[in-house]
């Protein structure tokens, strides 16, 4: 059970058209079905004075993140396109942290990786949480087996008490079972599971 308070922040990961809409460039099966649960968490956080931060995958048209440029993914979340916009049903009530803006690779909301050297640099997420005195991070969004997993693992590694809302995440499941394995990896690292809807 998450106890929402001023020292807790909900991090909503990449609930953007390309992931959440069935017609999106990297559509996650059932991606849009999590939105009511995500919105319930946004509302619960708001009532309790907890923070809400939204991450936004924000790629340039050419990036080694994409298969056409040597990476693994179909083109998705290109800056200033429909696919990169937040899903229209998502309740917005907080700051946005963009990632991948300069063509960097990586999945976590906390870091991006230089596509050449692979060395990580921080996004604004960590400083945003720390300047508000956040101690607990609650993660929801897309996708369980990539950006949700890496964001939750980074949160726990950075010393935040960390929860994942299992009814407010969905997996890409490129290989069957990836989502389940990601939840297991999070659990092993000390991430606790909770429900957005109860
Ligand atoms: C993501 C693959 C590529 C995600 C982002 O948000 O989980 N997955 N870019
Ligand atoms: Zn991406």
Buried/exposed 137-165: b ≥16 CB within 10 Å, e otherwise: bbbbbbbbbbbbbbbbbbbbeeebbbbbb
Instruction: Tell me, in angstroms, the distance from the centre of ligand 1 to residue 93's CA.
Output: 22
Say how far apart CA 70 and CA 77 lie, in whole Å.
Answer: 17
14 is catalytic: yes
Please give the pLDDT value at position 116.
75
132-153 mean pLDDT: 98
pTM of the model: 0.97
At residue 30, does pLDDT exceed 80?
yes
Between 57 and 116, name the one with better pLDDT.
57
From the CA of 77, the nearest ligand is: 2
pLDDT, tens digit, for every residue of 44-101?
999 999 999 999 999 999 999 999 999 999 999 999 999 999 999 999 999 999 999 9
Helices 178-189 and 149-157 cross at an angle (nearest 10°) of 10
**Residues 114, 104: contact at Cβ < 8 Å?**
yes
Percent of the chain beyond pLDDT 70? Answer: 100
Task: Give the model's pLDDT for residue 105.
Answer: 87
Ligand 1 shell residues, CB under 6 Å: 14, 19, 57, 73, 107, 142-143, 146-147
99 is catalytic: yes
44-53 pLDDT per residue, tens: 999 999 999 9
Interatomic CA distance for residues 154 and 111, integer angstroms: 9
Q: Rounded to a whole number, what is the distance in angstroms from the first to the last CA of the chain? A: 9
Active-site residue, from 18, 57, 77, 99: 99
Starting from the CA of residue 142, give the closest ligand. Answer: 1
């Amino acid at each position: 059970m998450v106890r929402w308070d001023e020292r807790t922040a909900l991090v909503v990961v990449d609930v953007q058209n390309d992931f959440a809409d069935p017609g999106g460039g990297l559509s996650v099966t059932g991606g849009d079905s999590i939105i009511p649960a995500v919105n319930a968490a946004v509302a619960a956080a708001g009532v309790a004075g907890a923070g809400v931060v939204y991450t936004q995958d924000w790629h340039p048209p050419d990036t080694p993140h994409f298969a056409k440029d040597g990476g693994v993914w179909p083109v998705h979340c290109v800056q200033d396109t429909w696919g990169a916009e937040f899903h229209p049903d998502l309740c917005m009530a907080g700051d946005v942290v963009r990632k991948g803006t300069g063509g960097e690779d990586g999945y976590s909301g906390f870091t991006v990786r230089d596509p050449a050297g692979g060395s990580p640099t921080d996004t604004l997420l960590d400083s945003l949480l720390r300047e508000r005195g956040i101690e607990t991070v609650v993660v929801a969004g897309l996708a369980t087996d990539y950006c949700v997993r890496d964001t939750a693992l980074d949160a726990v590694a950075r010393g935040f008490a960390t929860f994942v809302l299992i009814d407010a995440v969905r997996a890409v499941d490129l290989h069957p079972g990836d989502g389940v394995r990601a939840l297991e990896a999070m659990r092993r690292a000390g991430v606790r599971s909770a429900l957005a809807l109860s």
